[in-house]
Amino acid sequence: MSEQLAASTVRPPSFRELGLEEIADSLEVHREETDPPATPQYDCPDLRDLLLVAERQPGSVSLIDTTRHERLGRIENVGRAPHSIVFHRSLADTDSEASAYVQSRQGWVSKLDLSSGDLVRRVRAGTSGRAIAISADSNYLLAGYYNPNHAVVLDAETLEPLHRLPAHAVDPDGQSIASRICTVRDVPGERCFLVVLKDAGRVWFVDYDDPSFPIVDEVPVGRTLHDGVYGPDERYCYLASQGDECLYVLDVRERAVVDRVPTAGPPHPTPGAIDEYRGLGFTGTVMSDAITAWDLKARDPVADIEVPGHGMFCNSHPDSDYVWGDVIFDDTDRDNEGVIYAIDPDDLVVSTVIDTTEWAPGRSLHPEFTRDGGHVYVSCWDAGKLLVFDSSTGALTAEIDGLETPTGTFLGDRATEP
């Protein structure tokens, strides 16, 4: 797995441009917006409790009711290797706009109706997709691509392409280069998208209140950027620099880098382990046996916590006493591909280690909490199942079969996240 990371830091060529007209020609309408609303298919009273599971190989998404630990169904044809999922902001209102949007590595952006379980429409705005964001008003999507090197603004209702942002900027060495887009986010309270240019080491602020979607600010950050998480007040975004092995602290109000937090290795902070009560953040470091914990106020590392292997994802919940993580990036001979673990944030040590191969042979990854924080879902990539654990005791609560190459898991409650 670490070889994959090393390869990801090398900028591949962007083979050709892709214009708005060609993107628009790829639009597929699977259900007309003028059709009568589809009959709700699933008995899930609150869609914030609905878990969407990316199924890498078939290019599908499975739907899970996390209150009953039950698989409800599958939505197919979203593009191979679905990578990122965002939700319409009004998801809590199950009578209106029960939509989710999927960005696949194959480049397709798909609109899903979560109430009926339908694929509504999809469009292909590139051939190597990585990121997707939804505006605060749910009017716009921004899709980010490795190939072509661009980001594309889409109408969230119709998926019509509205604007294209070719990613070209000056890198930390002063070279003018094309760059992959690795992360896009909404900027809380600013009516802007945040666009992270991986190779150029910069971020753009794109104004979506202006129909021309201008880049209104550009901030140099660091080398080989990747992902990022917001702190509790959503003013500071902690951006991963895998080249500089640190988190850069971006003040999104002042639009400036104000600090840096050294990490034990190339950081991977998403999906997000921010403990507001203790004032701590936690990030995976993908080529070391450590989770770096840092003080959110002082912006200093407080511990490099020894963990069972090279991980990628760590997660927390305000109503859980533990930070959960995986070792999916481990490429040693330790035979620990199915290990997950929980960190005690008071003692800053691993308190629980679970070998999921007892129930599901092969790799396990991406712990995701239920909305109440009582359980953690873990994807078993090779075994094609989900394991559900009590988030406090680590006891196995449920096994959910019938999936194919499950990877990322995305809870509907994320609709409130920027």
Among candidate residues 29, 72, 26, the one with its CA nearest the CA of residue 49: 72
Contacts of 165 (CB under 8 A, 6+ apart): 150, 151, 152, 153, 195, 204, 206, 213, 215
For 364-418, write each residue's pLDDT tens digit.
999 999 999 999 999 999 999 999 999 999 999 999 999 999 999 999 999 999 8
Tell me, what's the pLDDT at 333? Answer: 79
Answer whether 149's CB lies under 8 Å from 25's CB.
no
Tell me, what's the pLDDT at 12? Answer: 67
Please, which pLDDT band fits residue 311 given cuts at 50, 70 and 90?
Answer: very high
Q: Phi-psi bin for 2: left (phi > 0), alpha (psi -120 to 50), beta?
A: alpha
| Residue 240 to residue 223: CA distance in whole angstroms | 9
Mean pLDDT on 116-124: 95
| Residue 146 to residue 179: CA distance in whole angstroms | 8
Answer whether 300's CB lies under 8 Å from 280's CB.
no
Answer whether 364's CB lies under 8 Å from 358's CB.
no
Q: For residue 8, what is the enclosing H or E element?
A: helix 2-8
Tell me, what's the pLDDT at 18? Answer: 94
Complete domains list, the chain, with CATH: 2-416 (2.140.10.20)
Give residue 13's Cα distance to chain centre.
24
Among candidate residues 196, 146, 195, 200, the one with its CA nearest the CA of residue 173: 200
| Residue 58 to residue 225: CA distance in whole angstroms | 29
| Residue 198 to residue 225: CA distance in whole angstroms | 5
| Residue 189 to residue 199: CA distance in whole angstroms | 27
Tell me, what's the pLDDT at 8? Answer: 60
Bond prior to 172 in cis (omega within 30° of 0): no
pLDDT above 70 as % of the chain? 93
Mean pLDDT on 158-162: 99
Mean pLDDT on 264-279: 97
Sign of CA dihedral 86, 87, 89, 92: negative
Phi, psi of 410 (to 5 degrees): -135, 115
Mean pLDDT on 138-154: 98
Answer whether 376's CB lies under 8 Å from 395's CB.
no
Phi, psi of 4 (to 5 degrees): -65, -40
Burial string for 286-296 (b: 16+ CB within 10 Å, else e) reads bbbbbbbbbeb
For 286-306, write each residue's pLDDT tens digit.
989 999 999 999 999 999 999
Q: Dig out the tokens for 177 from the structure.
A: 């280069």
For 72-86, write each residue's pLDDT tens digit.
999 999 999 999 999
Tell me, what's the pLDDT at 1? Answer: 44
| Residue 101 to residue 255: CA distance in whole angstroms | 28
Range with the lowest mean pLDDT among 13-27, 203-217, 293-307, 316-330? 13-27
Q: Quote the strand ranges of 263-337, DSSP E.
A: 267-275, 280-285, 290-295, 300-306, 314-315, 323-326
Q: Is 380 helix (H, G, I), strand (E, B) or coil?
A: strand
Contacts of 168 (CB under 8 A, 6+ apart): 149, 176, 177, 178, 179, 200
| Residue 418 to residue 69: CA distance in whole angstroms | 27
Kindly report the length of the chain: 418
Q: Dig out the tokens for 305 from the structure.
A: 């916590």
Tell me, what's the pLDDT at 332? Answer: 75
Look at the block and give the residue holding tokens 């006493």: 321
Burial class of 266 by CB neighbour count within 10 A (0 to 12, 13 to 18, 19+): buried
Please, which pLDDT band fits residue 14 given cuts at 50, 70 and 90?
Answer: low
Please, which pLDDT band fits residue 95 given cuts at 50, 70 and 90?
Answer: low
Among candidate residues 69, 147, 68, 139, the one with its CA nearest the CA of residue 101: 139
Tell me, what's the pLDDT at 16? Answer: 73
- Position 93 pLDDT exceeds 50: yes
Tell me, what's the pLDDT at 116? Answer: 87
Indicate the residue type of 301. P
For 332-344, write each residue's pLDDT tens digit.
778 898 999 999 9
- Position 91 pLDDT exceeds 90: no
Q: Dig out the tokens for 353 from the structure.
A: 């280690």
For 166-186, write each residue's pLDDT tens digit.
999 999 999 999 999 999 999
Tell me, what's the pLDDT at 173? Answer: 96
Q: Which residue has the higher pLDDT, 74 or 14?
A: 74
